[in-house]
Amino acid sequence: MSKNLILFTKILLLTPLFVLVASPGGKDLKKSPYPPLKGVPTGEKITCSPDPLVNYRWKSPDADDDLEVYTRKPVSVTCDEPMNMTVKGNSDLTITGACNIMFDFGQVNAGWLEFECDDMPATVECSISEFNEPAVFNLGSEHPVKTAVPEQYGKTYRLELNKQLYEGVRFAWIHLKDVSRKFRIRNVRLVCQTKPTNYEGSFNSNDEQLNRIWYTAAYTVRLNLLKDYFGAILMERSDRHSWTGDAHTSQAAALVAFGNYDFVRKNILYTAEQFNGILSYSLYWVQSLLDYYQYTGDQSLLDSLCNNACNKLDIAYQHYEQSPSVSFYGWDERLGAGFENPNCKETHTAYKMLSIQTWKRFAKAMTDCGRQDLSRKYETYADEKQQQLQCSPDWQEGLDIFAASDAVNAGVVSPEEVASLWNNVFGDRLQRVSYSPFNQYFVINALARLGRYGEAMNTIDDCWGGQLRYGATTFFEVFRPSWNLCKLADNDAPVNNQCGYTSFTHPWSAGVAKWLSEEVLGVKPEVPGFKTFTVCPHLTTGLTRIDGAVPTPHGKIKVYMDVKEGKGSLSVPAGTTGRLAIPLMGAANIEIKMDGQTILPEKKNATHVYLPVLNEGSHTFSFSYDRPAESPVVEEDLKYCYPASTVKEDTLTQGNWKGVYGSKGYILFNYDGEGAHRTKLPKQCQSIICQREENSNYMNTASDKRALVSNIENDESRSLGAITTFDPQVCRQTITIDVDYRHDKPYKISLYFVDWDYNGRRSAIELFDLQNKRILSPVHMVRNYGMGRYVTFEVNQPVRVRICQVRGANAACSALFLD
């Protein structure tokens, strides 16, 4: 598509379902699978939410409600041949010649593309995507390439890519060829589906990005609510079913954003016998049950599922000393990169810590329920394993951010151990970032438990704020902050990797909404069901004002506080009592009036003063500090060992590498045929190991200047092979090269890329420490390598090079050189 795109107009329009009628003699239009939207707009403006239905309300939404549909019109239209199109209102087009038309619908939606044309004098195809290029996914999808000829029903055209119709759609395209005359396309639209769900929670602060993060997380979950369960992904890529662990963070966000307790309950029952073959997911299911119990007080569900939960907890106890196959713990390199190597030390230790945490939480819930027998049993499990740790003073050695976070959340880190754990694990801002936003939730929970709220806010900015800066309107399956350094435009095609083809709408990333409601707004139940609760806001990183609500079975807890103005309010629902803490914001003393009366704090610590218990009703309060309020900012840099500026590219050398590269050694991949590399390694290089690669050798290379000249002296013959990714197989969009070169000084690694058949390949390179798998440099994007391109990194340690497909048939690397 031409870069000379013209932006015509921008509008935003939400309409009821458009009624479609086939022309006489035309194929009957398949009816929408769901009834039209019944929700009613309230008129409230919530500009920080990407959800077009954020201010819609249903009278009495129910867990058993069917989905409903509505339509969205584009907010903008662009065309690669602007002289061949005129547009009116973004959805009414007049076409005079061949062109590719791109529609932006403003945010990701769960829907399908439709339009109308009286008489189509052209060849037409349509595409959809969550990002700004037509999407492609893996084998096993009903339609891996998200481009197809639309189905025609009389004058109506509909893009149908799977039996359920919907996909994740932010962008859509109409591709027109062989245009024989002028014609018109009308009413371009998405038909979108939604589960009737009201926003009962809210979040607002003086930090607009933080507000956007909360609402984007909520919208990510809401888009994936299906008729009978919490969905885990919008795009159809063969795994669009319920994932039990993913649902843990999705349900957590739903509890604070929607208060749709009946649907959370339904999903817990739906997933009660599922764990997707992943050990940690069984424990996340137990934690979801406990979250639900804490927020609702619904002991009947806890009682009915008690034996199920105990079975899962007992299995975890049996596993504890056995180092079982955990199957999966997250996509981060330090966790074994998903399914590639999940049984590493970090995942086994994290699973143990998660077990201790879950035993403790369950024991506490059993105490609340009067089941002292079960409380003692699981407290004993936790105490036994915690004592084992304490008998091994070096148990922390080698922990990384995930096992360390689970250890903190399990309460097994003593005060004396915190400093060393912080210095060795938590103190590096870059290494606190998880490739999976799912796991990031547990990291920020640990930071809160450590009292490191400023650092938690920095990490939230790196992970979720970074996604917003990338253009996100929903949160992603995986993300690195450095994607923003190598993008050319917002919503560029993402890096595909060990997770396969990356999803841009993955509700497992939504746990941050619960964290913000509990830690920044500060609302938490003290007893199950919010019969008593606390409000303890933590305001750092410039935060001085909060305003929001958390739903409870008794009604909404509404909180407002402005520490600069020294005022606030709290609504305590009927039948409950609340305890309010006011942050000191660096002050030593504070004077407080509650409902017009001067009161004394009940207690005080280093960060807050706690007021006496408040009974039901609406309360206003004012306060003054003995010095100006300070919202401290923790200054931390996101530092890479090897910054982007140190990476060099070369497009001139092409195949004439001798004398330029490889002075210390090289591998010419598949130079003499598939599996036949030409290799020379220096003695300091213990090994270079490629994994998950496919071997290719290209034909007719002898006279092509891109092909590599022979390594043999006086031999000017050429050949070219490559190691490539296994696209489009599931989770085979990446290869690794482990370079165990132990040099006593910095050395250079150069990779030679050739897009041999000019397939539009675009690839990404990631660099990790070979031993601890910590990321070392920003992601480097390799574009336009049809004529050959060298990428050179200067490093001083053994490294893992991960090469990932982004666009094109696969990622292809033809050689590695050491200098």
Provide the CATH number for the domain around residue 546. 2.60.420.10
Q: Which helix (H) or strand (E) holds 546?
A: strand 545-552
Cα separation, 446 vs 378, whole angstroms: 22
Q: What's the rounded mean pLDDT across residues 389-415? A: 95
Cα separation, 117 vs 94, whole angstroms: 10
Residue-wise DSSP of 51-73? -TTTTEE-SS--TTPPPEEEEE-
User: Residue 554: inside a domain, yes or no?
Assistant: yes
Residue in this structure with the two tokens 């919907």, named with its chain if needed: 166
Q: Which helix (H) or strand (E) holds 205?
A: strand 202-205
Of the given ranges (94-108, 159-173, 389-403), which has the lowest mean pLDDT?
A: 389-403
Torsion, Cα of 186, 187, 191, 196 (10° steps): -170
Cα separation, 550 vs 524, whole angstroms: 9
Q: What would the two tokens of residue 374 be?
A: 């079960």
- Write phi, then psi, for 333 (nearest 5 degrees): -55, -35
Torsion, Cα of 427, 538, 542, 566 (10° steps): -160
Q: pLDDT band at residue 38, thresholds of 50, 70 and 90?
A: very high
pLDDT per residue as tens digits for the range 113-158: 999 999 999 999 999 999 999 999 999 999 999 999 999 999 999 9
pLDDT per residue as tens digits for the range 477-493: 999 999 999 999 999 99
pLDDT of residue 744: 87
- Residue 404 C-beta-side C-alpha neighbours within 13 Å: 26
Q: pLDDT band at residue 798, thresholds of 50, 70 and 90?
A: very high
Q: Which helix (H) or strand (E) holds 317?
A: helix 306-319
Whether the pLDDT of residue 242 is over 90: the answer is no
| 3 state SS for 321-367 | CCCCCCCCCCCCHHHCCCCCCCCCHHHHHHHHHHHHHHHHHHHHHHH
Cα separation, 251 vs 464, whole angstroms: 18
Residue in this structure with the two tokens 């963070």, named with its chain if needed: 249
Q: pLDDT band at residue 269, thresholds of 50, 70 and 90?
A: very high
Cα separation, 585 vs 588, whole angstroms: 9
Which structural domain range is residue 810 located in?
647-818
In terms of domains, do 80 and 182 share one? Answer: yes
Among 468, 496, 520, identify where a domain stops: 520
Taking alpha carbons only, the member of 317, 407, 418 closest to residue 362 is 317
Cα separation, 511 vs 563, whole angstroms: 27
Whether the pLDDT of residue 28 is over 90: the answer is no
User: Residue 12: inside a domain, yes or no?
Assistant: no
Neighbours of 530 (CB within 10 A): 27
Q: What's the rounded mean pLDDT across residues 234-260? A: 96
User: Residue 468: inside a domain, yes or no?
Assistant: yes
pLDDT per residue as tens digits for the range 697-733: 999 999 999 999 999 999 999 999 999 999 999 999 9
Whether the pLDDT of residue 474 is over 60: the answer is yes
CB-based contacts of 485, cutoff 8 Å, min separation 6: 644, 778, 779
Task: Give the residue with greater pLDDT, 283 vs 3.
Answer: 283
Taking alpha carbons only, the member of 335, 521, 538 closest to residue 443 is 335
Q: What's the rounded mean pLDDT across residues 329-346? A: 98
Whether the pLDDT of residue 263 is over 80: the answer is yes
Residue in this structure with the two tokens 């013959």, named with its chain if needed: 717
pLDDT per residue as tens digits for the range 588-632: 999 999 999 999 999 999 999 999 999 999 999 999 999 999 999
Mean pLDDT of the chain: 95
* C-alpha pair distances (Å), 124 with each of 119, 357, 461: 12, 56, 42
- The three-class DSSP label of residue 374 is helix
In terms of domains, do 542 and 437 share one? Answer: no
User: Residue 635: inside a domain, yes or no?
Assistant: no
pLDDT of residue 393: 84
pLDDT of residue 6: 29
Whether the pLDDT of residue 26 is over 60: the answer is no
CB-based contacts of 628, cutoff 8 Å, min separation 6: none
pLDDT of residue 18: 37
Neighbours of 550 (CB within 10 A): 28
Q: Which helix (H) or strand (E) holds 171?
A: strand 167-177
In terms of domains, do 338 and 400 share one? Answer: yes
pLDDT of residue 458: 99
Q: What's the rounded mean pLDDT across residues 34-39? A: 96
Taking alpha carbons only, the member of 453, 455, 486, 450 closest to residue 470 is 486
Cα separation, 400 vs 133, whole angstroms: 36
* C-alpha pair distances (Å), 688 with each of 375, 428, 673, 684, 800: 52, 29, 19, 11, 10
User: Residue 672: inside a domain, yes or no?
Assistant: yes
Q: What's the rounded mean pLDDT across residues 411-421? A: 95
Measured in residues, the chain has a length of: 819
Whether the pLDDT of residue 788 is over 50: the answer is yes
Of the given ranges (2-16, 217-231, 376-390, 562-576), which has the lowest mean pLDDT?
A: 2-16
The answer to whether the CB of 429 falls within 8 A of the CB of 462 is yes
Taking alpha carbons only, the member of 584, 573, 577 closest to residue 536 is 584
Return the CATH number at 680: 2.60.120
User: Residue 172: inside a domain, yes or no?
Assistant: yes
Q: What's the rounded mean pLDDT across residues 424-441? A: 98
Query: Residue 608 carries which side chain, given as an amino acid letter?
Result: H
Among 169, 194, 219, identify where a domain stops: 194
The answer to whether the CB of 187 falls within 8 A of the CB of 116 is yes
Whether the pLDDT of residue 809 is over 60: the answer is yes
According to DSSP, residue 470 is labeled H
In terms of domains, do 587 and 475 share one? Answer: no
User: Residue 88: inside a domain, yes or no?
Assistant: yes
Q: pLDDT band at residue 32, thresholds of 50, 70 and 90?
A: confident
In terms of domains, do 244 and 349 share one? Answer: yes
Contacts 24+ apart (CB under 8 A), 55-59: 57/198, 58/196, 58/197, 58/198
Cα separation, 376 vs 360, whole angstroms: 10
In terms of domains, do 181 and 301 share one? Answer: no
Among 145, 170, 194, identify where a domain stops: 194
In terms of domains, do 497 and 605 share one? Answer: no
- The three-class DSSP label of residue 166 is coil
In terms of domains, do 777 and 793 share one? Answer: yes
Q: pLDDT band at residue 11, thresholds of 50, 70 and 90?
A: very low
Neighbours of 21 (CB within 10 A): 12
User: Residue 642: inside a domain, yes or no?
Assistant: no
Q: What's the rounded mean pLDDT across residues 40-68? A: 97
Can you name the residues that pair with 104 across neighbouring β-strands? 76, 171
Whether the pLDDT of residue 7 is over 50: the answer is no
Q: What's the rounded mean pLDDT across residues 741-753? A: 95
The answer to whether the CB of 733 falls within 8 A of the CB of 808 is no
In terms of domains, do 673 and 600 share one? Answer: no
Query: Residue 196 carries which side chain, given as an amino acid letter?
Result: P
- The three-class DSSP label of residue 407 is helix
- Write phi, then psi, for 620 (nearest 5 degrees): -115, 150
Taking alpha carbons only, the member of 74, 75, 65, 164 closest to residue 112 is 164
Return the CATH number at 180: 2.60.120.260
Cα separation, 496 vs 67, whole angstroms: 31
291: left (phi over 0), alpha (psi -120 to 50) or beta: alpha
Return the CATH number at 332: 1.50.10.10
Q: What would the two tokens of residue 266 be?
A: 């339904």
Cα separation, 752 vs 792, whole angstroms: 9
In terms of domains, do 807 and 684 share one? Answer: yes
Cα separation, 268 vs 285, whole angstroms: 7
In terms of domains, do 250 and 380 share one? Answer: yes
pLDDT of residue 25: 39
In terms of domains, do 380 and 231 share one? Answer: yes
pLDDT of residue 3: 34
Structural domain count of the chain? 4
- The three-class DSSP label of residue 444 is helix
Can you name the residues that pair with 418 across neighbouring β-strands? none
pLDDT of residue 323: 87
Q: pLDDT band at residue 27, thresholds of 50, 70 and 90?
A: low
Rg (CA), the chain: 28
- The three-class DSSP label of residue 390 is helix
